[in-house]
Structure 1
């Protein structure tokens, strides 16, 4: 369900819900030594897929930083390519 909310790409969701969803998906922060779970991959993929139309990554860069993740679409896409 949370991935669907991100994929919906509505501005109110971006502003008020995507950041907390992201933070809950990475409660202790992203740890490069551990593989992403399938749920984390799906969530980050939804952010990448909708970012051009919603600005969801750039609009939530503080949440991405707090979770220890890249703060831009290219960085998230590269991270997803790292874990096939």
Structure 2
């Protein structure tokens, strides 16, 4: 799905739903690649987040306590040049 889409916005509704659905087994194999696709060129603080990027990050923040989605994907967040904790991600929103 991710590789076939030209833009993240094309797959954002499904990608956000996957992250929002949670589950502790959905880590590096799904959430990480979704995050990296949403920020393919890396996070750039000089550019505003798109609505799709905001929705994705909000799903991570909203479900983090139950799923550990941010901590479980810290390497993906780091690779995307983003904060590596819930508070840092929430601050971007």
Instruction: Please identify runs of 4+ aligned residues in structure 1 that moved more than 2 A.
Output: none
Which of 45, 52, 68 is the equivalent residue of 1:39?
Answer: 52
> Quick check: 1:58–1:72 contact (8 Å CA) kept in 2?
yes
2:65 corresponding residue in structure 1 = 52
Structure 1 unaligned spans of 5+: none
Structure 2 unaligned spans of 5+: 1-13
Residue-by-residue CA offset, 1:9-45 (whole Å, 9 max, x unaligned): 1122224200000000000000000000000000000
Aligned residues: 80
2:3 corresponding residue in structure 1 = none
TM-score computed with the length of structure 2 as normaliser: 0.83
**Cα root mean square deviation, aligned:** 0.7
Cα distance in 2 for partners of 1:73, 1:10 equals: 17
Compare the two structures and name the one with the higher helix fraction. 1
TM-score computed with the length of structure 1 as normaliser: 0.92
1:8 corresponding residue in structure 2 = 21
